[in-house]
Structure 1
Amino acid sequence: MSIDKITKQHVLDAVDKIEREGIELKRSRDYDVVIDGKAYPPKEIMRYANLLANGTKDWLYSGGEPTNKYLRKFEFEIVPKGEEPEIPATKEGFVQILGTIVNLTGNVCKLGCNWGKGAPSFYEFIKKHSMVIGVNDRMYSIGDLVIITEGQTVLSIGKVLEAPSPSVNFPEYEADFDNHKIEYDSNVNISKVEWYELSEDEVFTYPLQQGICRVHAPYKNIVLGIWHDRFINYWVFQCNPAEFDYAKAVKSNLLHDWTVAAHKDKIKTNDKVILWLTGKRAGCYALARITNDPAETGISPDNHLWKSEPKISLKAGIELTHNLVDNPLLWQNIKSTKGLEELKVGNQGTNFSATRKQYHTLLKLIEANTQNMGKKLDLYINTILYGPPGTGKTYKLNQYEETYFTDRGVTNSAEDVLKGKVNAYPFWKVLGAVLGSRSASMSVSEILESPLIKAKINPDAKTPRNTVWRILQSYADSASTDMDVKYKGPIQLFKKSNDSKWSILEDKKADLADIIDQELLDIAANPVQQPVQSSTFKTRYNFITFHQKYSYEDFIEGIKPLLSSEDAEEQSGELQFELKKGIFYNSCLEALRLVGYDSFEACYQDSVENRIAKFETAKSNPSMQFALFIDEINRANISAVFGELITLLEDDKRIGADNEMWLELPYSNEKFSVPGNLYVIGTMNTADRSIALLDIALRRRFEFKSLYPEYIESEWWASLLEALNQAIYNWKKNPDFFIGHAFFINKPEADRARILNTKIIPLLYEYCQSNAATVKNILSEAGVALKSTGIKENFQIIAE
């Protein structure tokens, strides 16, 4: 059982289950937790949340503060028994209407502001009088919340303060009812409400348009959350880790307050805070709440962690609700997330205003990332999964990718999204889109400034100008270039003016969308807004399948020809070459970046102590680990592929390890080592090659995990697979040639003959080197009935 799996949503779902099923709860002695305006015993709520998260109602914490602290982390209010839930106050001093506290019922209703199709909106009318309109068969209750909408947009929330009264009791409203085409009769009623108009970042869409209806989850939870937080302010509290050792302060439990240099009259208890660190690994390192208003303080427990004496003694008390010190939301990963566009971070200063939307956007990212937190792969850092065909080796790799090396709720940067879009098109089409989006002709220098061209250009290209120039000439009309026809592209699209500026040929402009693609033209016309889109996940792995001709130059780095005119960098027309990095080098670089280094050079130049510290942190943080998956690793010549770098794979030779080793790459002369946070996981088909035949150098540096057939007794095929493999063992005396369960998984018994004839028998032919007699003997011993075949069936072996 892991209570870390419990999220705020589990708590809300637990309350929903308790209410729907009428579950009787054991009463608490001293405290209640207030959820959706109703009080519940905290320990009982956590028992049912644990049931939904982990399948058990056990709750290890005692009642009182240990359990209360856990619920506060999810921002639920804890109140002593017998007390009403706290009603927050505005800065002007909120006075509860009618002089009494009206508790929430937990019900949420919706009121649309058009009384029939084509009727004018009555939003301003009911806002002016702080009331809602209802009908007798859908009456509000005191304590209900009502969302007020225009179309599908929620503009305000009202809490019902009085029982509904017939509209005819309010003659002063008769003319207004008539103007807004609302029936002024006893069937239509009015309720006074406490009115709260949503701020710009709180406004949301409710998709159902019917006039008055009950609101259910998830919108109900959104409304209750806004109502509860309606007088709470949001802040960014920022520090520079070069001036204050934030990580040590948190890990030593010394961080209890924060310097207040601005907004001192506005920051107040229960406000919510985004704790932000600047520097190379800038990002959100915690969410917190204000526990005490700003006040002059003496010596704080963390004063000694400042590089210089703190200059400001005014501090606000804080409590971390979401501690991300070991797994921060780095700005480079989240800056393109919708909702964070205006986040005030990175500027000089300590305290900045934030918005509810920004805070909750970060909260959602944290909750999404929490799903993968703590999932550390229980494998040696260099591992080979081996076994016969069909035992789930590649399936296992896919599981590792999804479970351990995929981050949910992370967004790709705008640059990455744009690069992904334009790289789907050949270079000449990208150039065509750039020129086609401009009414005026462009010089090569102007073209190079286009965001699309920057995204498309190979970052390793030494002369990007020549690349663009050559492609323009290759696709230009004959009047614009004297390039040899054998180097020309299949279409003439561009023309060059006397002042060396380029544009689209006049006769191609009308058909440009058909030639290039309308989507690419749209991106060129709006390159900034187009790429800023959220991504549901971000991967931390690369995948490659080895083959017999795979080489060191493919895997690490090598000199490669530029075969395509789109990538060539010279105008001569001769074959050109480039130094190209391989998938292993790029995987090592990605692993380095997760730790905070932009390049091998930056890592090499850093101090040994810093490297050790950073990779020690990465070792215990699953989100800072990268993987290279190599399918069919035994199909290549391992010694030739890894070359001298095979020594660097050893765990004690990697960056940050005791015997850290660096080598110089032969082509680039670049300093290189293997990061300590890079997993190398391969698969090996034992029917192709025995482990005993593997290079001894590889065997020494990898651990091997066997995957053999699983015989699931409840499945129809279990006895058949067992009989086949027993027959194979009797013949071959080697389990490496067994047949795996994957050939049968999720297949109905009606497919038995098809599986045998299209999968198993061809595999047996391969095992037996096409010896039909041996194949028949194995099948016969396994109890597989065969059809009698002759010349018409080409004497094939066919199972019945």
Structure 2
Amino acid sequence: MPDGSNDKPINIIYTGVAGTGKTYRLLQIAKEYTDYIPKINDDELLKQLLQELSWREVVCLIFLDFQVQQQDLVKVPEVVNHEFFVAKAAQNEREKNLSNTAWSVLQMHSPASSQTVMYKNRAGQSYFDKDPSGAWYLLPDSMALLTDLSQQLAEFQQVQRDNSTNLTQSNQSQASQNKQFQQQRFSMVSFHQAYGYEEFVEGIRPVMAASNQSNNSPSQMTYAITDGAFLKLCQRAANDPQQRYAMLIDEINRANVSRVFGELLSLIEPDKRASMPNAMTVNLAYSGRAFSVPVNVDIYATMNTQDHSLAPLDMALRRRFRFIDCPPKPELLSILNLNKGSEVTDETESIDLGKVLTGLNHRISQTLGIEAQLGHAFLFSVQSLEQLQMALVEQIIPQLAQAAGGQVAVLQYIFRDEQQPISMQFIHDSFGLIDKQIPKQRLSQNLMFSEQQSYFTQSINAGSYAINTDLIAKAGEFANAAVYQRLYP
């Protein structure tokens, strides 16, 4: 499990063609940044939250809790009946005069300028005031003094949510559910063309302001600076320096990385992190806050080598990340036995998927380049001939056809169709089929010329290739192992 504040930060990008398990690696890394913590029941949580708090702090905490529920005005009976107040009274072994305690706290910490509270022994700092209806509210000026309490409340509510979530998970036994819950020290995002700085670092977002219940005014929309996924993770890491945190980014080169990271692109370098020899601090674009990336934040990302469209950006990333290649692994694939119910004793009755993938990738590299190769994930779940046929028809051939621009000669070379009879070819030339077969079929069916013209247009748009109909129907020569063994190296 990654931990320790003295560890150097890790910046890694896993690269490879589609289907080589890059995203799977991120999911495995996420487990290393997940803690299984003994579950704390609600009574123990309340005890930990309230133990060191004064009555004034408990009442402030109650008002903050009501604000979370979008209730700004609170009456004394609501304060006294709140679980925080009840739990604090139990800790102090108090049973009587609880309303007097609440009234005393509220009046003592009201402002001298209040028009509704008459009280002599006021404290030096004001937190509450009362409206003409008798309902109390937190003074806006006091909110800056309650930052720590707000954080404690947020953490308390997060643990409550974690407890509740884990109780509903079906993949754990009931005994396990009652003992522990997951605490994640990572954040995972997928980059895409529209992903930007606002989602990753910070941006201006609409916020619905709470309605004023005293005059029944409706909720209003305001705009506030909101922290993005990376900034939130960094704040958690800065508050917990003894643990390591991870930012997991899938498909990092799908977005404009310079725009997403902005001024943080330099800060993520290991030697530029906070407390490192060449530590850097910048002012964030929207809030202007001074910020540096904590040393205990690791960044892992994936990059599909088929999507390398920004060469200069690739060089910028290479200065800041280690690149680890994820090649296809044909050795992970199965051997299909077509003679069901018996062991494979005759190789003519089996299909070695690893050899199929190796053979295809060898010829793909010769014609389309190594970045057009197929990852082992295309065939990883294949356990039967029917599944192999579906993988070829629905995934592998369409992908290769796109990479080849629909060039029939290239596709036929990859599938070793050149010297094969039409019945055994994986790929057919659509124009050749039209010359040999389509005219007779059209004439016999008396189809109109416009329909023939539509067929020609579709063939051209498809790149002039067609998949053997027997392969699609899982029939004919494609029911035999030999046609697939032809794909071996």
TM-score by length of 2: 0.54
Q: 1:540 to 1:443 in 2, by over 3 A?
A: closer
SS of the residue corresponding to residue 238 of structure 2 reads helix
SS of the residue corresponding to residue 262 of structure 2 reads helix
- AA aligned opposite 1:547: H
1:737 paired residue number: 372
Counterpart check, 1:797 vs 2:444: no
1: CA distance, partners of 2:223 / 2:291: 23
1: CA distance, partners of 2:74 / 2:403: 62
Counterpart check, 1:587 vs 2:244: no
- AA aligned opposite 2:240: L
**1:56-114 Cα distance to aligned partner (Å, 9 max, x none):** xxxxxxxxxxxxxxxxxxxxxxxxxxxxxxxxxxxxxxxxxxxxxxxxxxxxxxxxxxx
SS of the residue corresponding to residue 270 of structure 2 reads coil
SS of the residue corresponding to residue 586 of structure 1 reads helix
Q: 1:688 to 1:712 in 2, by over 3 A?
A: same
Q: 1:696 to 1:373 in 2, by over 3 A?
A: closer
Q: 1:444 to 1:770 in 2, by over 3 A?
A: farther
**Contact 2:334-2:383 within 8 A present in 1 as well:** no
Could you say which structure has the higher helix fraction? Answer: 2
Identity %, equivalent residues = 31
Q: 1:574 to 1:594 in 2, by over 3 A?
A: closer
Counterparts of residues 3-82 of structure 1 (less than 5 Å)? none
For structure 1, the residue ranges without an aligned partner over 5 or more in a row are 1-371, 419-429, 436-441, 453-497, 502-523, 596-617, 619-623
Counterparts of residues 222-241 of structure 1 (less than 5 Å)? none
2:348 paired residue number: none
1:170 paired residue number: none
2:306 paired residue number: 687
1: CA distance, partners of 2:273 / 2:256: 23
Counterpart check, 1:761 vs 2:402: no
- AA aligned opposite 1:671: A
Structure 1 counterpart of 2:73, from 429, 444, 455: 444
Give, in angstroms, the shift of residue 544 of structure 1: 0.2
1: CA distance, partners of 2:324 / 2:12: 7
**1:754-776 Cα distance to aligned partner (Å, 9 max, x none):** 11111111211332244455434
Counterpart check, 1:646 vs 2:286: no
**Contact 1:411-1:538 within 8 A present in 2 as well:** no
Structure 2 counterpart of 1:393, from 22, 33, 49: 22
- AA aligned opposite 1:537: Q
SS of the residue corresponding to residue 744 of structure 1 reads helix
SS of the residue corresponding to residue 272 of structure 2 reads coil
**Contact 1:407-1:539 within 8 A present in 2 as well:** yes
- AA aligned opposite 2:30: E
**Contact 1:629-1:682 within 8 A present in 2 as well:** yes
1: CA distance, partners of 2:276 / 2:83: 41
1:248 paired residue number: none
**1:32-53 Cα distance to aligned partner (Å, 9 max, x none):** xxxxxxxxxxxxxxxxxxxxxx
2:35 paired residue number: 407
1:663 paired residue number: 282
Counterpart check, 1:544 vs 2:173: no
2: CA distance, partners of 1:413 / 1:565: 33
Counterpart check, 1:629 vs 2:248: yes
Counterpart check, 1:703 vs 2:322: yes
Give, in angstroms, the shift of residue 661 of structure 1: 1.6
2: CA distance, partners of 1:701 / 1:708: 22
Give, in angstroms, the shift of residue 542 of structure 1: 0.6
Give, in angstroms, the shift of residue 499 of structure 1: 5.1
Give, in angstroms, the shift of residue 451 of structure 1: 7.5
SS of the residue corresponding to residue 669 of structure 1 reads coil
**1:349-398 Cα distance to aligned partner (Å, 9 max, x none):** xxxxxxxxxxxxxxxxxxxxxxx48899x997111001000000001111
Give, in angstroms, the shift of residue 723 of structure 1: 1.3
1: CA distance, partners of 2:372 / 2:312: 15
Instruction: Name which structure has the greater RCO, CA cutoff 8 Å, separation 6+.
Output: 2
SS of the residue corresponding to residue 739 of structure 1 reads coil
Give, in angstroms, the shift of residue 639 of structure 1: 0.9
2: CA distance, partners of 1:567 / 1:747: 57
1: CA distance, partners of 2:307 / 2:179: 43
Give, in angstroms, the shift of residue 779 of structure 1: 2.6
Structure 2 counterpart of 1:678, from 274, 297, 304: 297
2:426 paired residue number: 786
- AA aligned opposite 1:719: K
Structure 2 counterpart of 1:726, from 362, 368, 371: 362
**Contact 2:361-2:374 within 8 A present in 1 as well:** yes
Structure 2 counterpart of 1:577, from 211, 217, 223: 223
SS of the residue corresponding to residue 386 of structure 1 reads strand
**1:728-774 Cα distance to aligned partner (Å, 9 max, x none):** 11112x31211000111142132111111111112113322444554
2:382 paired residue number: 747
| CA RMSD, 1 decimal | 4.5
1: CA distance, partners of 2:285 / 2:3: 39
Structure 2 counterpart of 1:554, from 184, 199, 207: 199
Give, in angstroms, the shift of residue 692 of structure 1: 3.8
Q: 1:637 to 1:700 in 2, by over 3 A?
A: same
**Contact 1:410-1:538 within 8 A present in 2 as well:** no
Q: 1:394 to 1:500 in 2, by over 3 A?
A: farther
2: CA distance, partners of 1:451 / 1:694: 54
For structure 2, the residue ranges without an aligned partner over 5 or more in a row are 47-64, 85-131, 136-156, 168-177, 336-352, 442-454, 460-465, 472-477, 479-489
SS of the residue corresponding to residue 206 of structure 2 reads strand
Q: 1:571 to 1:647 in 2, by over 3 A?
A: farther
**How many residue pairs get matched?**
311
**1:192-220 Cα distance to aligned partner (Å, 9 max, x none):** xxxxxxxxxxxxxxxxxxxxxxxxxxxxx
2: CA distance, partners of 1:683 / 1:706: 10
Give, in angstroms, the shift of residue 406 of structure 1: 1.5
Q: 1:399 to 1:781 in 2, by over 3 A?
A: farther
Give, in angstroms, the shift of residue 568 of structure 1: 12
**Contact 1:776-1:797 within 8 A present in 2 as well:** no
